């Protein structure tokens, strides 16, 4: 929740609505989250809500956009940090994965859930543009991780035949799946350990140990 001071009153209310809504959506699904409960918790009226969002789908869109932006900036920061610690593409990626696992492991109550995954299991509830946003989100992550893997593959021979798109996707899959397992088992540590296993896989493929 970046610098509250710089946000106008309206923007603060809007962010508060989004915070409350996101938490509810991750536990009850989008359709299961009522506007009434959101406005009650936000301490506003229905009219106040509709001042900020034209309908429920508009809320879904804003929620997803904010989530994707946040994820993007988190990855950006971790990649930057990793790049500062090593020039080598493989070691930088391995450092990134370690940092990623640490961040995911340090969340006090475990990861609250991936909004994109939640939306995928409610796709028929949303307008086409929202559905395209989830698709595009996964495409971006694939492209992003793939870039890193390309640079690695250019310098390191791989021990086995591997499709780099699949290897890039696997990080998304392991993260999404790890979050589900963590939540379902109430074992917050599962997610970061799964990321570390993906790291072990990358290491085995390019270093052999």
Partner DNA sequence: ACAAGTACTGTACCGCGAGTACTTTTCTCA
Partner DNA sequence: TGAGAAAAGTACTCGCGGTACAGTACTTGT
Q: How far, in Å, CA of 115 to CA of 23, rounded?
A: 10
**Taking contact as CB under 8 A, which single stretch among the options 41-49, 77-85, 86-94, 156-164 is the one that binds a second copy?**
156-164
User: If you ran DSSP here, which 8-state letter would residue 33 be given?
Assistant: -
99 is a site residue for a second copy (CB under 8 A)? no
Cα gap 151→154, rounded to integer Å:
5
Query: Dihedrals φ, ψ of 163, to 5°?
Result: -95, 120
Q: How far is the CB of 89 from a second copy (least distance, A)?
A: 20
Q: Is 54 in the site for DNA (CB under 7 A)?
A: yes
Q: Pick from 27, 51, 69, 159: which binds DNA (CB under 7 A)?
A: 51
- Smaller CB separation from DNA, 27 or 143: 27
Check residue 107 for interaction with a second copy (CB under 8 A). Answer: no
Output DSSP code: residue 30: T
Return phi, psi of residue 20, to 5°.
-65, -45
**Interface residue with DNA, options 3, 6, 47, 163 (CB under 7 A):** 47
Query: Could you tell which of DNA, a second copy, none binds residue 199, using a CB distance below 5 to 8 A set by kind?
Result: none
Structure tokens at 38: 């959101």
Q: Does the protein bind a second copy through residue 100 (CB under 8 A)?
A: no
Which residue in 131, 93, 124, 110 sits closest to 207, CA to CA? 93
CB atoms within 10 A of CB 154: 8
Q: Do residues 168 and 146 make contact, with C-beta atoms less than 8 angstroms apart? A: yes
> Does 208 participate in binding DNA (rule CB under 7 A)?
no
Q: Return the one option of a second copy, DNA, none that residue 194 interacts with (CB less than 5 to 8 A, by type).
A: a second copy
Cβ closest to DNA, residue 56 vs residue 61: 56
Give the footprint of DNA on this chain (CB under 7 A). Answer: 8-14, 33-37, 43-48, 50-52, 54-57
């Amino acid at each position: 929740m970046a610098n509250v001071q710089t946000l106008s009153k309206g923007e603060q209310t809007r962010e508060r609505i989004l915070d409350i809504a996101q938490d509810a959506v991750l536990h009850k699904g989008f359709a299961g989250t009522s506007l009434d409960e959101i406005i009650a918790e936000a301490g506003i009226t229905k009219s106040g809500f509709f001042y900020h969002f034209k309908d429920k789908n508009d809320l879904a869109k804003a929620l997803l956009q904010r989530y994707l932006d946040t994820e993007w900036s988190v990855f950006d920061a971790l990649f930057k940090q990793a790049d500062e610690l090593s020039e080598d593409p493989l070691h930088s990626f391995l450092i990134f994965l370690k940092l990623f696992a640490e961040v995911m492991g340090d969340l006090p109550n475990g990861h609250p859930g991936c909004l994109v995954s939640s939306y995928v299991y409610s796709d028929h509830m949303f307008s086409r543009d929202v559905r395209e946003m989830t698709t595009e989100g996964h495409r971006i992550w694939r492209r992003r991780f793939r870039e890193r893997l390309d640079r690695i593959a250019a310098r390191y021979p791989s021990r086995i035949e591997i499709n780099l798109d699949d290897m890039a996707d696997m990080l998304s899959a392991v993260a999404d799946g790890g979050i589900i397992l963590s939540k379902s088992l109430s074992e917050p540590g599962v997610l970061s350990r799964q990321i570390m296993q993906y790291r072990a896989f990358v290491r085995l493929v390019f270093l052999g140990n």
